[in-house]
Structure 1
């Protein structure tokens, strides 16, 4: 499956969340990652993030696409992160 992950977490946890997410997904820009991920790794990522974030203050959103066949990505302004994966 293809996942787009967006997070908004407290300043103290940002580095830890980013480091964890980058083990599984490609960094696109501030607080946004994307990439192909297996169901097992998706569950593992969610478990690891749930141990890092403060559920009363932080937010992590997963957009799950079963296929990227009918999607595309368009960027305005500077490109950050990985250009190698285009949806």
Structure 2
């Protein structure tokens, strides 16, 4: 499934969450990631994220069966261009 992940963490835990998310998804903007995950990968990501999170930290997941059902528009400079060509 295609996932867009957004998080808001206390500054003390941002580096840990960034490192975790980069293992599973592509970084596209500060605290925003996207990519394809299996159900098992998504479950593992959520379990590991909950271990990092404390207090008022939050993580939001937008899920779709396929990326083609979402229209993505970037206004301004794209932080991290993903090259999908092999």
For normalisation by structure 1, the TM-score amounts to 0.90
Unpaired segments ≥5 residues, structure 2: none
Residue matched to 1:63? 62
For residues 24-56 of structure 1, the C-alpha deviation after alignment (integer angstroms, 9 at most, x for no partner) is 0000000100000011111000000000011x2
Give the aligned CA root-mean-square deviation in angstroms.
Answer: 1.1
Residue matched to 1:7? 7
Conserved? CA contact 1:28–1:82, under 8 Å: yes
Runs of 4+ in 1 over 6 A off after TM superposition: none
Task: List aligned pairs for 1:1-80, cutoff 5 A.
Answer: 1-54=1-54, 56-80=55-79
Measure the CA separation in 2 of the matches of 1:71 and 1:44.
Answer: 24
Residue matched to 1:82? 81
Unpaired segments ≥5 residues, structure 1: none
For normalisation by structure 2, the TM-score amounts to 0.91
Q: CA deviation at 1:71?
A: 1.7
Q: Which one is further off, 68-77 or 39-48?
A: 68-77
Measure the CA separation in 1 of the matches of 2:69 and 2:49.
Answer: 29
